[in-house]
Structures are given as C-alpha cells and as structure tokens.
Amino acid sequence: MTQVPAIQLSDGTSIPQIGFGTWRIPDSKVTGVVLAALEAGYRHIDTAAIYGNERGVGRAIAASGIPRDELYITTKLWNDAHLTADARRGIENSLMRLGLDRLDLYLIHWPATLQYGDSYIEAWDALQQFKAEGLTRSIGVSNFLPHHLDALSGETPAVDQIEVHPTFSQRALRDELTRRGITIQSYSPLGSGADLRNRELARIAARNSKSVSQVIIRWHLQHGLVVLPKSQTPIRVRENFDVLDFELDAHAMSRIDALDGDNRVGWHPDTARL
C-alpha cells in the first residue's frame, strides 16, 4: 500500500495528510465505519466531544489491534468548556471515552465569542498545560481567524482546522495561516457533499479516470492541506483513500482553484451560535 504523506507540524511532530472525518456518524454506527476506514488504510481519525461518538471511535481503536503509535487521534474541546477547570474535565472525559491516555492532537473547536466572549483565550492556556503534562502531543484550534489567533498567549497553535473545499477555498486565510507557520486542516473537504455535484469537477474527474471525490481530495493533498473526508458508506470510505496513485497536473489544479466562490456550507466563525 502506498504510504499516506505526512506533514511536519511547527512543534516537530508529524501528521498523516489524510484523516477520516466522523461528524454526524452516530455512536451506534461509528465503530463499524471507523473499523472499515482503518481496514482501508486510514490511520488518522478526527472526532470531537460534541459529535457524541468518541466511545464508538474508542471501541474501533481497541478492536482494530493497531498499535497506538501507528494511529493519529484528534478530538476537540466544546465551546461550553473553555474555562480552565471545565477544559480539564473536557480532555479527561474525551480520553476516558476514547479509551486512551494521550491524544495526538487536541483542538479548541470554535472561538464561540457570541456566546462565551473571549473565554477561548483561557482555553488556549489550558491546552498548553495539557500538552506540557503529556495528555496530548500537539495542540491547535479550529475555526480561528487571524484576530482570534492574535489574542492568544504563549505558543502558536500547530494547526487550524477550517472549512476548505474547491468552491470555498479560503485562499487569503490559508495564506495568512501558512505565513504564521500554522498547518491547515480542511474540514468539509467535499463541501459536505455539495462540491461533488460540480460539473467542472466532473469533467476533470472524467479526464483523469477518477471520481469527483478523488479529484477533490487530490487537490487538497497537492495544496499541502491535511484533508478530513467523511463517509459512512464503506465503498466511499475506500474510494476516498484510494488517491495515492495519481496526480493532478498544473492545468487541472488551476481549473479547480478557479472554482473558488462563496459556497460556505458551515458557520462563519464570528457569527456562529452553536
């Protein structure tokens, strides 16, 4: 099997460039789906406390028999737990549900300023403490814009997980995060499915004898993004991982870049009320 490329984070650790997204996969179903993903070759799993499926992900990790150091596990601190004591309960509960004693990456899920003011600043201090204690190897943020990053003290987040897909590619924000040495994780990399219906992408896929989903995932990889496709359909889980044996040429990459538009499928970080 061709090796998934890895990216080195600013803290010196490395992260597999393809991760498996688990949002909206219920706990009752996620164990089988994650086992199918591990069977297909994924070694990086993205979950969150709010997804309500950490226990099921943990059951898959345990049942897989894959050595812990071959897996890369990310989870996220929910918005109502930014204050220090709550954040500590947050990471401890996530570790307990996942059946792990250490995460690979722990993220602040949203700045959530509309509901919780600037409490994300305190959460960042807590995450630095958790990393120092060895509860997680790396720490980062999600849905953070430059003005949120500017408010943080101490170390720079290793990662910002943001919405990126061909019809909403966030070029300016990506450039700014790269300038700051922050690795970008693309969430909703297929536009939560919406970009799969794009006709230009269908033409590029036909020319490459690949599916639209595979072309989009390649586009993320070739831009140096960590990509987190989700599917609860085993055949699609495998299809989305089968992207290591071809390359998009520069012309195809620029045609996909040209699809950039206003097609945000999630919430704007400054106005999200979650």
Ligand X SMILES: NC(=O)c1ccc[n+]([C@@H]2O[C@H](COP(=O)([O-])OP(=O)(O)OC[C@H]3O[C@@H](n4cnc5c(N)ncnc54)[C@H](OP(=O)(O)O)[C@@H]3O)[C@@H](O)[C@H]2O)c1
Of 159, 153, 3, the residue nearest 75 (C-alpha): 159
Residues numbered 136 to 165 that lie near ligand X (CB under 6 A) are: 142-143, 161
- 117: tokens are 């003011």
For the bound state, the minimum distance from the C-beta of residue 76 to ligand X, rounded and expressed in Å, comes to: 6
Contact pattern from residue 69 through residue 88 relative to ligand X, giving x for each residue in contact according to CB under 6 A and a dash for the rest: --------------------
Under the criterion CB under 6 A, does residue 56 sit at the interface with ligand X? no
Three-state SS at 201: helix
Contact (Cβ atoms closer than 8 angstroms) between residue 215 and residue 181: no
- Catalytically active residues are 51
Exactly one of 36, 141, 189, 218 binds ligand X (CB under 6 A); which one? 189
Contact (Cβ atoms closer than 8 angstroms) between residue 90 and residue 83: no
* Number of residues counted as binding ligand X (CB under 6 A): 28
Q: Are strands 136-142 and 103-108 parallel, antiparallel or unpaired?
A: parallel
CA angle 4, 175, 248 (to 5 degrees): 40
Would you say 130 or 187 has its CB closer to ligand X? 187
Exactly one of 223, 236, 238, 255 binds ligand X (CB under 6 A); which one? 236
Exactly one of 229, 248, 252, 256 binds ligand X (CB under 6 A); which one? 229
Residue nearest to ligand X as judged by C-beta position: 21
Under the criterion CB under 6 A, does residue 94 sit at the interface with ligand X? no
For the bound state, the minimum distance from the C-beta of residue 193 to ligand X, rounded and expressed in Å, comes to: 3
Under the criterion CB under 6 A, does residue 193 sit at the interface with ligand X? yes
- 22: tokens are 């688990």
Of 16, 71, 20, the residue nearest 47 (C-alpha): 20
Under the criterion CB under 6 A, does residue 58 sit at the interface with ligand X? no
Would you say 188 or 198 has its CB closer to ligand X? 188
Distance between CA atoms of residues 112 and 143, nearest Å: 9
Sign of the alpha-carbon torsion through 119, 129, 99, 45: positive
With CB under 6 A as the contact rule, which of the stretches 2-10, 52-60, 231-239, 256-264 interacts with ligand X?
231-239
The DSSP annotation for 113-135 comes to HHHHTTHHHHHHHHHHHHHHTTS
Under the criterion CB under 6 A, does residue 166 sit at the interface with ligand X? no
Distance between CA atoms of residues 108 and 77, nearest Å: 5
Would you say 133 or 246 has its CB closer to ligand X? 246
Task: Report the interface residues with ligand X, using CB under 6 A.
Answer: 21-23, 46, 109, 142-143, 161, 187-193, 196, 211, 213, 228-233, 236, 239-240, 266
